[in-house]
Chain A
Amino acid sequence: AQSVAQPEDQVNVAEGNPLTVKCTYSVSGNPYLFWYVQYPNRGLQFLLKYITGDNLVKGSYGFEAEFNKSQTSFHLKKPSALVSDSALYFCAVRDGGRGNTPLVFGKGTRLSVIA
């Protein structure tokens, strides 16, 4: 069975500083890893994904994530945070070797970027 852990309920960062939102995962097969962002009263928006290849994945709005197989982590990062990045962030995993499987999500991390 797959699982995702997001150890921080809330991350606060000053505008212009780098940000990191942590995620660790567990999956029996090949990990397909995703980050989604959710703004108030909006659905989930896809940010980026890791399937295979380069461990550093670049996504939308300047976000990137680093896949670390030995630590089973997929932390989300951004070099310089913006106030508009304030939102709820979800890490998700699915077993890539089993076709169209559903996503298993972490509980989410609320990012607050302070001006």
Chain B
Amino acid sequence: EAGVAQSPRYKIIEKRQSVAFWCNPISGHATLYWYQQILGQGPKLLIQFQNNGVVDDSQLPKDRFSAERLKGVDSTLKIQPAKLEDSAVYLCASSPLYPPPSSTNEQYFGPGTRLTVT
């Protein structure tokens, strides 16, 4: 089974530029999460999708961040314009909507995109 795919793996941009990240979850996983991991901190949720609908975007800085999952499969996260404090690793994770009875419905993480804003 293929894991969660993310691209690009690394991105360097100047402040005020725009950037987009892409995530392809595990096949069949209805729930998709974007987390932001700043150096020295644990990941923090930005947005959660279930199929193509937003479940939780309360911690997404909506003045500059946007995300979509139009067909309920892959997703893009965009930052426009970027600030220095957006430098972080952006992690995508997915989980099934109806896990097996013995499962906890744990989340599977992609390798992340490391963003550096200069």
Contact = CB atoms under 8 A, between A and B. Distances in A.
A102 B40 contact: no
Contact of B91 (A43, A46, A92, A104): A43
A44 to B, nearest CB: 4
Interface residues of B, number: 28
B44 interface: yes
A49 to B, nearest CB: 5
Interface string B42-61: 11110010100001100000
B55 A100 contact: yes
Given A100-B50, A100-B97, A108 B41 contact: yes
Contacts of B35: 102
5 contacts: A43-B109, A102-B45, A102-B48, A102-B56, A103-B43
Given A108-B40, A108-B41, 9 more contacts: A34-B104, A43-B109, A49-B104, A49-B106, A92-B42, A100-B97, A102-B33, A102-B35, A103-B45
